Amino acid sequence: MDLYLSKSWWKILLMIAGFAIIAASLYYNNQLAKNLADEEQKKMEIYAGALSDIGKSAPKFSTPKDAQAFERWHDTSLELAISSNNTTIPVIVTTSDHKIILHNNLDKSKIERQKELGDSTYLKNELANMMSYHEPLELSISEDVKQLVWYRESYLLRQLRWYPYIQLMSIFAFLSFGYWAFSSARKAEQNKVWLGMAKETAHQLGTPLTSLLGWVELLKISEDPSGTMAMIGEGVEKDIKRLNLISDRFSKIGSEPKLEEMDLAGIVKDNFDYIAKIAPKKVTMNYEHEGPSPAMVKVSPTLFGWVIENLLKNALDAMDGKGNINLLLRNLNDQIIIDVSDTGKGMPKSRFKTVFEPGFSTKKRGWGLGLSLSKRIVEYFHKGQIFVHQSSVGKGTTFRIIFDKNIASGEVNKKQQQIA
């Protein structure tokens, strides 16, 4: 339990650190964007002032001699140099009634194409876009002539605003893919460990069990008028059969089990009756079956019986020798739902998924593998679902198993339907 609690805290700390890095990155980028926007604002104010001075000071000409003077002025005018220095910020200059008289740093190809067609939709759309960005800068050419300078953010500033989001999304996608690849490889490795451990356990149990069966037969046929030896032999034989069942379970979980069309209710009831016999006297156990019988589904009786046994034993351990255990099997139209409920200690919601992790246990004894094996049997071999349906600390827990009757297709039904 300490391992998974520590793991949860590490996840929380890493998430907090990640959000802190993202927040700091976005804040720093926004500050850069704000500074650049302020610089563009100042640049546009200088630009508008230069245009205003050009309009006021440009020489008027009507003869070729005056035209030559204008060209000399044009080449040396500081104001004109300032106005032509803007190569990044899109600008449109209009009259006071919004008629376009000048534009700069817009898409030249679109403008040329629309000129050929006699269409000005592109410029009008750009003007409407700029109107939504800033209030215009006013040019005072003369007492009677007023012009307006409209502009929006440069392409560079827009890139700066969006770059961190694109960068963070790329990093997130890369890390997500890396995590998925690593997690898949780790799960595949865990599966190999499960298979190897289960096969080796079954193999190691097989040899002594075969020998013990031979000794039991000798006990049965030995001369003993009191019948004590025969009685011992029968008792030992029952325990050997139980060990054989355990060996068979490990053998099947170590390989792909053969699923057979069987009555699930019969398997559940047999294992329920077995646990009911060994349950403490102060524990009341109830079994209910709702819906038609039999409840047919493809199943491995050996492995699924193990699941029911694990759930019932966990329920017994959670109650400290007294309480109620209820097992309800519902045979619906397209699903079979099994609920195992107890009135034990319960658990907080944060543990609903953790209880199925290998090694997780709240008991002083045990390896914490029962529920992990149960999850593997139900979801990996039988393509069903097993999860904590509900639990309250001090009131008890309900585990739910869902089997899809159309399981022959081999697809897992991922929807956890909430049945009243």
Query: Is the per-residue pLDDT at 379 higher than 80?
Result: yes
Beta carbons of 150 and 134 less than 8 angstroms apart: yes
How many whole angstroms separate alpha carbon 201 and alpha carbon 207?
11
User: Which tens digits make up the pLDDT trace of 308-340?
Assistant: 988 998 898 888 788 999 999 999 888 899 999
pLDDT value, residue 30: 84
Backbone φ, ψ for residue 92 (5° rounding): -135, 130
pLDDT-derived band at 77, boundaries 50, 70, 90: very low
pLDDT value, residue 228: 72
Query: Could you give the count of Cα atoms lying within 13 Å of 114 in the half-sphere of its Cβ?
Result: 13
Q: Which of 386, 316, 373 lies closest to 345 in space, CA to CA? A: 316
Query: Is the per-residue pLDDT at 413 higher than 50?
Result: no
How many whole angstroms separate alpha carbon 80 and alpha carbon 50?
7
Question: What are the sequence ranges of the domains in the chain?
Answer: 2-153, 182-252, 257-409
Query: Is the per-residue pLDDT at 367 higher than 60?
Result: no
User: How far apart, in Å, are the Cα atoms of 107 and each of 48, 53, 110, 153, 380?
Assistant: 21, 27, 6, 15, 58
pLDDT-derived band at 420, boundaries 50, 70, 90: very low
How many whole angstroms separate alpha carbon 59 and alpha carbon 74?
9
pLDDT value, residue 388: 92
How many whole angstroms separate alpha carbon 280 and alpha carbon 342?
14
Percent of the chain that is helix, strand, coil (3-state, to 5): 60, 15, 25
Beta carbons of 276 and 285 less than 8 angstroms apart: yes
User: Which tens digits make up the pLDDT trace of 147-204?
Assistant: 888 888 888 888 888 888 888 888 888 888 888 888 778 777 766 666 666 666 666 6
Query: Is the per-residue pLDDT at 391 higher than 80?
Result: yes
Q: How far is CA 94 from the centre of its chain?
A: 52
**Token pair of 149, please?**
């300078």
How many whole angstroms separate alpha carbon 310 and alpha carbon 208?
25
Classified by CATH at the fold level, domain 257-409 comes out as Heat Shock Protein 90 (3.30.565)
pLDDT value, residue 255: 62
Q: Which of 317, 341, 325 lies closest to 390 in space, CA to CA? A: 341
Q: Which residues have a Cβ under 8 Å from the Cβ of 290 and sit 6 or more positions away?
A: 328, 329, 330, 331
pLDDT value, residue 123: 86
Query: Is the per-residue pLDDT at 83 higher than 50?
Result: yes
DSSP string, 85-150: T--SS-EEEEETT--EEEEESS-HHHHHHHHHHT--HHHHHHHHHHHTT-PPEEEESSSS-EEEEE
pLDDT value, residue 414: 40
Q: Which residue has the higher pLDDT, 9 or 270?
A: 270
**Token pair of 327, please?**
């097992």
pLDDT value, residue 113: 85
Q: Which residue has the higher pLDDT, 214 or 157?
A: 157
pLDDT value, residue 326: 94
Q: Which residue has the higher pLDDT, 241 or 24?
A: 24
What is the SS3 assignment for 284? strand
Length of the chain: 420
Statement: the pTM of the whole predicted model exceeds 0.85: no
User: Which tens digits make up the pLDDT trace of 88-142?
Assistant: 888 888 888 888 888 888 888 888 888 888 777 888 888 888 888 778 888 776 6
Mean pLDDT computed over 381-403? 90
- What count of other Cβ atoms lies within 10 Å of the Cβ of residue 355? 23
DSSP string, 2-66: HHHHHHHHHHHHHHHHHHHHHHHHHHHHHHHHHHHHHHHHHHHHHHHHHHHHHHHHPPP-SSHHH
pLDDT value, residue 361: 61
What is the SS3 assignment for 370? helix
- What count of other Cβ atoms lies within 10 Å of the Cβ of residue 316? 20
Neighbouring-strand partners of residue 388: 399
Query: Is the per-residue pLDDT at 418 higher than 50?
Result: no
How many whole angstroms separate alpha carbon 72 and alpha carbon 83?
17
- Torsion from C-alpha of 191, 193, 199, 201, nearest 10 degrees: -130
pLDDT value, residue 62: 47
